[in-house]
């Protein structure tokens, strides 16, 4: 039986069902998550979406926590062991990569694949979130989805550089010709466009003027 000491994921299950439920049981899916903690989201994905024997999940985590866990005074002893226990039933279809995401995401075991889905829930510092966003998006197939967690976490108005929101905002505005925001709440959902939209189409959509 899985063992979790925290459950920050369950409130988002209805959203994930809406976004990913249509892919349930499809063959050959490949997902990646940055920040796995105890594996709560990983277990849900394996039980509910990545159920075909040919589907795969790659999990990236330092298993050492980051500053937000320090702020909460969390004891992370045994974190990796709990994660590995929880994903044991699917260990042949779950790749575990221990280390910083900005290093792991460059490894050939990751970069040699194209992903249908990415979950960005690693370190919440804006710099780290932005790096994860750019690297993860580059791995997505056309039409692939990336979900950013904890968009509303932290004091974004007073200490923006330790919060995900500024990074997600920069990413979604900079990549607007290449990505569409499907949902913006505590989590932000972005889909990679099959093709880049034109400046004229973007201007029409946003009510902006095209320079000329």
CATH of the domain at 68: 3.40.50.150
Q: Is 211 part of any domain?
A: no
Q: Is 4 part of any domain?
A: no
Question: pLDDT tens track of the chain, all 212 residues?
Answer: 888 888 999 999 999 999 999 999 999 999 999 999 999 999 999 999 999 999 999 999 999 877 666 666 666 778 999 999 999 999 999 999 999 999 999 999 999 999 999 999 999 999 999 999 999 999 999 999 999 999 999 888 888 999 999 999 999 999 999 999 999 999 999 999 999 998 888 888 787 776 66
| Number of separate domains in the chain | 1
Strand-strand pairing, 30-34 and 56-61: parallel
- Structural Rg of the chain based on CA atoms: 17
Q: Rounded CA gap, 17 and 194, in Å? A: 22
Is the pTM above the cut of 0.75?
A: yes
Q: Is 2 part of any domain?
A: no
Q: Which helix (H) or strand (E) holds 191?
A: strand 188-192
Question: Domain range spanning residue 202?
Answer: 10-206
Q: Is 121 part of any domain?
A: yes
Q: Is 212 part of any domain?
A: no
Q: Is 170 part of any domain?
A: yes
Residues sharing a CB contact under 8 Å with residue 99, sequence separation 6 or more, in sequence order: 60, 62
Q: Is 1 part of any domain?
A: no
Q: Is 5 part of any domain?
A: no
């Amino acid at each position: 039986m899985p063992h979790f000491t925290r459950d920050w994921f369950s409130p988002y299950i209805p959203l994930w069902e809406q976004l990913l439920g249509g892919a349930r049981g499809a063959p050959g899916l490949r997902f990646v998550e940055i920040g796995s903690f105890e594996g709560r989201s990983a277990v849900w994905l394996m039980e509910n979406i990545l159920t075909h024997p040919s589907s795969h999940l790659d999990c990236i985590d330092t298993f050492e926590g980051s500053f937000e866990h320090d702020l909460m005074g969390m004891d992370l002893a045994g974190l990796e062991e709990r994660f590995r226990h929880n994903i044991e039933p699917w260990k042949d279809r779950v790749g575990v990569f221990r280390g910083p995401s900005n290093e792991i995401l460059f490894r050939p075991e990751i970069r040699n694949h194209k992903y249908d889905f990415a979950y960005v829930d690693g370190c919440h510092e804006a710099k780290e979130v932005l790096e994860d966003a750019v690297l993860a998006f580059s791995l997505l197939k056309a039409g692939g989805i990336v979900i950013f967690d904890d968009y509303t976490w932290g004091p974004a108005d007073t200490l923006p550089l330790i919060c995900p929101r500024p990074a997600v905002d920069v990413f979604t505005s900079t990549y607007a010709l290449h990505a569409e925001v499907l949902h913006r709440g505590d989590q932000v959902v972005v889909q990679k466009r099959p093709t880049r939209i034109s400046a004229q189409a973007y201007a029409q959509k946003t009510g902006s003027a095209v320079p000329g």
